[in-house]
Structure formats: C-alpha cells, structure tokens
Amino acid sequence: MKLKKELKVFLIFLLAILFLFMLPSISAIEITFSKDSYQPQETLQAKITGNFISLISDNIFIYKDGKAHPEPVIKDLTKQNNIYYFYAILPKQPGNYSFRIQDTSYLERGEINPDTIIKPIKVEFKNTSDLSFNPGFIIPNKDFSVKVKSLYGNTPLTAKFETTGETKNLSLIEQVEETIKFKLPELLPQQSKIIINGYEIPVFLIKKINETRELKLEFIPYILEGTITIEAKYYFTVIIRNTGNKKIENLTLSSNLDAIINPKNIGLLEPNKTRVINLTISVSKTEGKKLEGQIKAESSETVFYLPVFFNVTTNKSEVKIKDAKKESSLNCSQIGILCEESEICNGETVSSLEGPCCIGSCIEQKKSNLSKIIGIILLIILFLIIIYIIWKIRKRQKLKSPEEILREKSERFKKRTEPSEEVAGRLDRV
C-alpha cells in the first residue's frame, strides 16, 4: 500500500516536471498553414491567432538563408472574427524557407512582446497537380473571380461556391492561368468558402453592392513608454494613420495627463493618410514612481487610445524615451512615403528601415538659377575689366602715324645741326 502511494506521488511529480518543460513552448501566437509542404509558386495560406498590437501584411515576410526573399510580390492579410488570414504566392525556387512576423508586437501574459515569430516552410517540386490561385481569400462587394493555374501537368478542375452551390468545371493546362467567375448573392453577412480541387478559399460575404467601410486609426508608436524624471517636460512626435477604408472627420485629441497636444483637432484624415502630432508631457513632484494615462483620439463615430506608461526616477542618467522620429524599426510604407533624389519632403521627416521617411508629400525640387546667373555676371564683369585694361594700355602707348614719325625725325635732325650759341673772336680765346 505504501509502495502504491509513493508511486502515485512520483507520477504526479513527473507530470509536473513535464508540464514545466512544455510551458515555454506554449506560445501566445498560433500559425496554421493549409499544407505541410508546398511546391514552388503554390499559394501559401495561413491562419494567425494572437493579440497583436498592430499587424499588417508588411509585417509578414518569407525568408531564405537569413534574408527576406524578394518574392512573393503577391500577398495580402485580413482580420476576420479575431483571426488573421494571410496568403502569398511562394517563390519559384525550391528550398527551406521560413515564415516570419516581425517589426510588430503582441500581448503575452499581459506583457508586450516584440519578438520575431518564425515558422519553417518546406518548398519542393512534386509530381502532383498542385495549384496556384489568387486571391487566397475573398471579401467581395460585387461579383468576383479567382485566377488559378496548375503547377504540374494538365488537370481537370472543379470549383464550387459553397453558399450558392454555383459550380464551375474546366480543364487546366500546365502553367496556363485561367479565370473563374462567381456571382455574389444578396445575403446577410456570413463566412463561406470556395472549394477548388481540395483547396479552400475563405469568402467573407457582405451585402451586394454595399462596400464595407471601417474606421481604423493607428498610433505610431503604439505606446509611449520609458523612464522619465520629475519636474520636467518631455516632447514627443506621434504619428496617427488612418488604416481603414473610410475617412475620419472631426478628430479631437485629448489626454488625462498634463499634456499639450498640437494640433488638437483634425478636420479630415483620408484613408492611408498620416498626420504628425506634437505632444508635450509635464511631470510634477506629485507623480509617484509611475506615470500612466492615455492620449484619446475621438470622432463622432468612434474613439481610439494611445497608452502612456512611464517609470518615474530621480536619476537623470536613467532617462530613456522613444517616439515616432526614433522608431527606425518601421517600414516607410507604414508611416509615410520615400522621396526620390530629385524631390523634397514638405512635411516632417522620421526614421524608418528604408531611411528618412516623409510624413506629408514629396514635391519636385526646383533647381535654382541663381548660381548660373551669378556666374554669367562674373564673366561679364571680368570681360569688361580686360577691355578696360587694354584700352588704358593702348591709350598710354598710342601708335603714331608715318607722317608724325618723319616729322619728329626731321625736327631732331635740325636741332643737331643748328649751333647752340654764337661764337665770336678767335677760337683760342674762346
């Protein structure tokens, strides 16, 4: 009996140890691929679940040999019912690739985690009729279509729209792309799918003709944090970006902190447009060890928040803050635009992965003619100076005519032959 009790305790202890070893492997982010392995140019589909602070398609890369592969150029991401759906056309070359989510953060156990998420992808040639299709998910507001091709061999194809039962049958020729068209039914919003030879393409239905309009606003950085001192003022540059497909009107910014916000009102922010906000936060003696609050951006339709969390110290050497101008881990496409060499930015310039990023618009730099004009004037002045010098020399050394020369010689001869004084008397006396 005693032995059984000791065995039971040992088993409980062993299970506890195994649980502790497994615990670190449990991730707050889950990535599920549609297949275990793919062919080159096949469509990769992924479902991503997790509490991301911000996640866009520019945060997702296909890597090979430690570098982001220039392909795929065709990719997209959507969030539906708290699940992210991603698709991409894989590169043309086989090999061991990796799926990476980077340059963003997510919540894990209540803490913000900025770590890169990596999952391997095996890409290899197969003698199977795998498909490449585009798009990898569909959010239609009208009748829609899917482009599809066979990667190996000729193959018959059957495509069925699950909601309506609409079915298409055709024969695919290897590497020849075909377009399959479907009608959008007038139904209540719901999730459906198109099944093509075993592949499933998610379809997120909305009412026909009506365009889905979403109000979305992104703060860059997504949180103001760091370490600050008491009795001081701190200046921040914050970028707000309309990441939705609907314009935001009459946006008012405020804070529950001792903060000055400029501008406090934005009349209109179009989709994919950004605005720079200058923020001054004052820290008083009464603040304790932490400074917590938020910046609120409110329109007539919705409210957005920028969390503020700072540790407060008395040691100035511990001060550490970061804002949008120092957020160099962002792609320029996330916050603004890259100007060409011949262009200048007519707004704020902040750091990005690609270099200086313009928050505003790029305008053609006008070439100044001032230097050219100055050069011409200097040449004219130099020419006039040379003319003047030559004129002065020629004036001093004016050339004489032949008549004048003969006359001068004759006068000099007469002077030599004429006696200079009259001689009288005898020569010896003189």
Ranges in the chain, pLDDT < 70: 1-27, 207-213, 285-288, 323-331, 333-335, 352-355, 365-371, 395-402, 404-405, 413, 416-430
217-326: which CATH number, 3.30.360.10, 2.60.40.10, 3.10.580.10, 2.30.110.10?
2.60.40.10
3-class SS string, the chain: CHHHHHHHHHHHHHHHHHHHHHHHHCCCCEEEECCCEECCCCEEEEEEECCECCCCHHHEEEEECCEECCCCCCEEEEEECCEEEEEEECCCCCEEEEEEECCCCEEECCEEECCCEEEEEEECCCCCCCEEEECCCECCCCCEEEEEEECCCCEEEEEEECCCCCEEEEEECCCCCEEEEECCCCCCCEEEEEEECCEEEEEEECCCCCCCCCCCEEEECCCEEEEEECCEEEEEEEEEEECCCCCEEEEEEEECCCEEEECCEEEEECCCCEEEEEEEEEECCCCCCEEEEEEEEECCCCEEEEEEEEEEECCHHHCEECCHHHCCCCCHHHHCECCCCCEEECCEEECCCCCCEEECCEEECCCCCHHHHHHHHHHHHHHHHHHHHHHHHHHHCCCCCHHHHHHHHHHHHHHHHCCCCCCCCCCCCC
Q: What is the pLDDT of residue 310?
A: 85
Q: What is the pLDDT of residue 395?
A: 66
* Fold equal for 26-125 and 127-211: yes
Domain boundaries, the chain: 26-125, 127-211, 217-326, 328-365
Q: What is the pLDDT of residue 210?
A: 46
Q: What is the pLDDT of residue 397?
A: 60
Predicted TM-score (pTM) of this structure: 0.46
Q: What is the pLDDT of residue 420?
A: 54
Q: Which CATH class is domain 127-211?
A: mainly beta
Q: What is the pLDDT of residue 430?
A: 39
pLDDT one-digit tens code per residue, 114-173: 889 999 999 999 888 888 999 999 988 888 899 999 998 899 999 999 888 889 999 999
Q: What is the pLDDT of residue 2?
A: 47
Q: What is the pLDDT of residue 38?
A: 93
pLDDT one-digit tens code per residue, 200-217: 999 988 765 445 567 788
The CATH number of 26-125 is 2.60.40.1930
